[in-house]
Chains A and B, each alone.
Chain A
Amino acid sequence: MLFGSRVDDSKRGGDIDILVESDEPLDAGVRHKLEALSDMHIRLGDRKIDFVLASPPGSAGDAQDGRRIVQIARETGIPL
């Protein structure tokens, strides 16, 4: 899910904000996150990418996640 300023095509620049919801174990999720970021930076150059990892909505992990940024991403983001 893409969120933040990049969802508005009329705006230029800004960070690339991405939310990824995954039910895999967190250690695997973090490894995949780092691999994805590495791949994106190699392809896109040294852009600022904020990659937020979260559990799927309604899951036990999601119930314990109080991060406001996850809520904002779900309310305002565009699924990819």
Chain B
Amino acid sequence: MIPDLEQLKLESAIKECDSHLARLDRGYALLADIFPVDAAVLAGLDEVRVEQLDQFLFRFAKLQDAMGSRLFLAVDWLISGKNEARPFFDILANLEKYHAIESADSWQAFRELRNNLSHEYPDNAAESAITLNLLFAQWPAFRGIYTRLRDFAASAAR
């Protein structure tokens, strides 16, 4: 049984992540028919599609932030029992060591996808299109990173 405050932090992080996940699942279903995209497709999107795509990217970034800044820390505490500040890559390595996440490298790869979109979308259409296609194709894998971590946390908290 973990102390109440840490349990609350964990539950709050999962609640936030689940809310982003629900929106992302809806967005993924709505956008499926436009992928894969290229520069011309992106230029020709109507306002509804642009909003759907923006929402998907916004929620992806929010989920990634919530996982990185809240959920990873809460699960790391579950594993280590320590609440001290330490480098993010150390936390990632610990989560990987205990199989809470499959690979620290794959998490980092998704961060690069998100960062590349922040830099290039919507100004560099050709590169943005390729990055969007990668993100959309790999969304199920990223989703799996989160659900695996959430399930790990549920088991470890008992």
Binding site for B on A (CB under 8 A): 26-27, 30-31, 33-35, 37-38, 41-42, 45-46, 50, 53, 67
Contacts and interface: CB of A to CB of B under 8 A. Distances in A.
Chain A interface helix/strand/loop/mixed? helix
Interface of B: 87-89, 104-105, 108-109, 111-113, 115-116, 119, 124, 126-127, 130-131, 134
Contact of B115 (A30, A37, A42, A53): A37
Contacts, number: 39
A69 to B, nearest CB: 10
B115 A26 contact: no
Contact of A30 (B87, B104, B111, B130): B130
Nearest to A36: B112
A34 B116 contact: yes
A3 to B, nearest CB: 15
